[in-house]
Amino acid sequence: MSTASFEGDAAILVDGAAVPVRVRRSVRARAYRLTIDGAHGGLRLSLPARANLKKALAWAQDHEAWVRDQLARQPAITPLADGATFPLEGRDVTIRWIAGATRTIRLEGDRILLGGPAESVGPRVQRWLVARARAVLDSESHALARDHGLIVASVGVGDPRSRWGSCASSGAIRYSWRLILAPPDVRRATVAHELAHLLHMDHSPAFHAAHRRILGADPRPARAWLRAHGAGLHRYRA
């Protein structure tokens, strides 16, 4: 059963301009919490289930300086439009819309080529990326699991902001589709991380040993890459 729900949208003022705030109530929350909502833009305000919303927003408004600083640190959004360049498996590719060409998306060298309606280029490219991520991560997860005698129940993808993968005790694994933008060694290290959770549902020394054994290499460089560059992968959207 869910312990949290979105009440709706509000706003606070930063330098006189309205910044949208997604309000989230949770029975587990004991205090107000304000975070940057990178997936949707603006802010996310978490508060206890019975808290007064007006007081919570006033509290958030008192943090205007912090919000200003955090928003300034966010990477600029790059729309997945004609002419946009973004990383695909760690290498830069550029979207090229061709008038009169078919809707089918083709990857040719460092270009993603497509025709069809110009106004739907972004959503179609993003759907293509999500499908590619799902196929690659499903294949790699099952192949690496077989190599180590593990069983994966299912593989799915989503667009979480705070994690790159998750593994349930049932063996169901979900990844961020944005891993398809990262270098292959970073993606595989994430796959190995979630497979290691099939053995240890924690981050104990035994888990880290299993992670390294399944990956067949030191996973620390991949973790360092995600810490340094992972947030930037969220800048690309339709």
227's tokens: 């810490």
Looking at residue 130, its pLDDT comes to: 98
**Residue in the structure block whose two tokens are 């603006």:** 42
- Of the chain, the end-to-end C-alpha distance in Å amounts to 32
Q: Where are the alpha helices (DSSP H) in the chain?
A: 53-61, 64-73, 121-147, 184-196, 205-215, 220-229
| CA–CA dist 158, 164 (Å, integer) | 9
Looking at residue 1, its pLDDT comes to: 37
117: region left, alpha or beta (phi > 0 left; psi from -120 to 50 alpha): beta
pLDDT at 3 over 60: no
Looking at residue 195, its pLDDT comes to: 98
What's the mean per-residue pLDDT of the chain?
93
Nearest to 196 by CA among 139, 145, 146: 145
Looking at residue 36, its pLDDT comes to: 84
Identify the residue with better confidence: 7 or 138. 138
Q: What percent of the chain has pLDDT over 90?
A: 83
pLDDT at 124 over 60: yes
Q: What is this structure's pTM? A: 0.78
pLDDT in tens, 102-116: 999 999 999 999 999
> Helix, strand or coil for residue 107?
strand
Identify the residue with better confidence: 97 or 39. 97
Q: Are 86 and 107 in contact (CB under 8 A)?
A: no
8-state DSSP, 231 = G
pLDDT at 158 over 90: yes
The radius of gyration of the chain from alpha carbons, rounded to an integer in Å, stands at: 20
What per-residue string of b and e applies to 199-225 under the rule 16 or more CB within 10 Å gives b? eeeeeeeebeebbbebbeeebeebbeb
Confidence of residue 189 (pLDDT cuts 50, 70, 90): very high
Q: What is the mean pLDDT of residues 66-71?
A: 90
Q: What percent of the chain has pLDDT over 70?
A: 95
